[in-house]
Amino acid sequence: MCAATATGDWWARGIVGKIGGGFSHESEHDLALMVSDFLENGCSSGADSWCSSDSDSGLSDLHHLGDKISFYKRTVAQYESDLLPIVHSLVQLIKESDLHHVKSGPCNASCINFSLVKLLRLSGYDAAVCASKWQGSGKVPGGDHEYIDVVNCINAGSSERVIIDVDFRSHFEIARAVDSYDRILKSLPVIYVGSLTRLKQYLQVMADAARSSLKQNSMPLPPWRSLAYLQAKWYSPYQRQFGPDEQTFISVDSSDHKQCNGHLKRLLSSLQFEMEGERLMKPIKSDNNWRVNFLRGGDTPYTGLFEVYREFCPRNANSFPSLRD
């Protein structure tokens, strides 16, 4: 059995209180104070200014930053490249009726995260929902965040985490964005699947792009869009969960959970649009050796996919006896 990375174990031993997708009362209060101070004082000068630069690189041309995003999307490790279409396929299996675990508070896609983790684990992946939390410090407001990770065993005693965020673009939405920023935002993947290293590259570019866009409208960069705050979401202490916490989740009719239903519809629509666009951009080629193994270490390339199909379509699963052999 492959355990989480040593770094992940160290994070997990950090001070972690109540976890989940939404803000805790303490972090919500910290952020409210931060927003109030930002709106009242704006961008003041000095080292402690909320909109002080996150790096010494200065403002970059938005067109150049867009080129960086395109480059990062093409430089993907093989494992991440193999996992991405599987994640896309599994997300499309999620139905509104699956969103039956409701958090007692802001859900923020927790239902979708746990549904996707269930499908990934049925497909043979060591996937979990990661709930991170951090305390406010200096320019960084306190908060918490929820995402998914997949632990990939490289060799004996060594592993790496692949991060999955099902609502990736929402982290970079800003007010009064210029057209070029909107184009960069829409060029981001709908669902992020990749390493922490590549994620950090995206965060740096988007923080610079947000600063550049806001500057064109004479607006300062708010603290919740700073690089430090963005990094805190995925680099803070976290706990892995394979299923919902019974103390913080209740089971109800999915029709009562309109927030997640709407979120799922938007996610599926955006994902379909992205996949169609990428399909049109790809050259037509013949590759008879192409295949996707849905179960790492399984008997056949399709065993894991059959298990997922049988879970959600039990009546039709018997129509494919060859998959069970």
What is the full DSSP assignment across 146-208?
A: EEEEEEEEEETTEEEEEEEETTGGGGG--TT--HHHHHHHHHS-SSEEE-HHHHHHHHHHHHH
Distance in angstroms (rounded) separating the CA atoms of residues 173 and 167: 11
Domain containing 303: what range? 290-325
Which of the four pLDDT bands, split at 50, 70 and 90, describes residue 75?
confident
**Which tokens hold the place of 122?**
């049925």
pTM of the model: 0.69
- Asked if residue 198 belongs to a domain, the reply is yes
- Say whether both 117 and 254 belong to one domain: yes
Rg (CA), the chain: 21
Kindly report the average pLDDT of the chain as a whole number. 74
Do 170 and 235 have their domain in common?
A: yes
H/E stretch holding 28? helix 25-41
316 and 253 share one domain: no
pLDDT band at 59 (very low <50, low <70, confident <90, very high): very low
C-alpha 98, offset from chain centre: 19
User: Which of 4-13, 123-132, 146-155, 191-200 has the least mean pLDDT?
Assistant: 4-13
Whole-number pLDDT of residue 22: 39
Residue 127, pLDDT > 60, answer yes
| Model confidence pLDDT, tens digit, residues 240-278 | 998 876 555 555 554 456 778 888 999 999 999 999 888
User: What local confidence, expressed as pLDDT, does residue 30 receive?
Assistant: 52
In this structure, are residues 210 and 181 in contact, taking their beta carbons and an 8 Å threshold? Answer: yes
Helix axes 179-187 and 62-74, enclosed angle (nearest 10): 10
Could you tell me the two tokens for 119? 């499908």
Other beta carbons within 10 angstroms of residue 300's beta carbon come to 15
Question: What's the helix, strand, coil split of the chain in %, to 5?
Answer: 50, 15, 40
pLDDT of 220: 87
- State both tokens at 167: 């609502």
Phi/psi of residue 261, each to 5°? -60, -45
* Banded pLDDT at 169 (limits 50, 70, 90): very high
The answer to whether residue 37 is domain-embedded is no
3-state helix/strand/coil string of 88-132: HHHHCCCCHHHCCEEECCCCCCHHHHHHHHHHHHHCCCCEEEEEE
- For residue 282, the 8-state DSSP code is S
Q: What is the pLDDT of residue 278?
A: 83
125 and 263, same domain (yes or no)? yes
| pLDDT value at residue 99 | 80
pLDDT at 118 over 60: yes
| Higher local confidence (pLDDT), 294 or 105 | 105
One domain for residues 175 and 275: yes
Hey, which residues does 241 pair with through a beta bridge? 129
Question: Among 118, 110, 53, which residue's Cα sits nearest to residue 260?
Answer: 110
How many C-beta neighbours within 10 Å does residue 73 have?
15
Number of domains in the chain: 2
Mark whether 86 and 200 lie in a shared domain: yes
